Amino acid sequence: QARLVESGGGLVQPGGSLRLSCAASGFTFTLNYYDIGWFRQAPGKEREGVSCISGRGSTTYYADSVKGRFTISRDNAKNTVYLQMNSLKPEDTAVYYCARAISPCTPVIVPGEYASWGQGTQVTVSS
């Protein structure tokens, strides 16, 4: 059964960094067949798209709120997609999810175009 598992969340001070991982297993095709997206959901807010990466990693998109601070990457040999988060702010606090794109990822990263959601990992930015 196709499955994505996020890890790497935690508590970090403002200005700090974290690297999230999204490990894939059980997919019909090798991971490079799938575009992968990262999303986040803060308490009381809707889930929002953060970033996505094409199957071979040649194309990436970012939400304006994280552009220049977050970097998405992937290692298909390890079946893993990463989200490097630098210069973290309190407003980055949320549960972060990864998911498989149903169609090629675009600059508009919307949850309805993704499937095979992971369980999420909590990121808390606080002093």
pLDDT digits (tens, 9 = 90+) for 108-119: 999 999 999 999
CA distances from 22 to 13, 90, 112 (A): 23, 22, 19
pLDDT digits (tens, 9 = 90+) for 3-23: 899 999 999 999 999 999 999
**DSSP letter, residue 105:** -
pLDDT above 90: percentage of residues in the chain: 86
Q: Which residues of 75-94 are buried (b: 16+ CB within 10 A; e: fewer)?
A: ebeebbbbbebeebeeebbb
Report helix, strand or coil for 76: helix
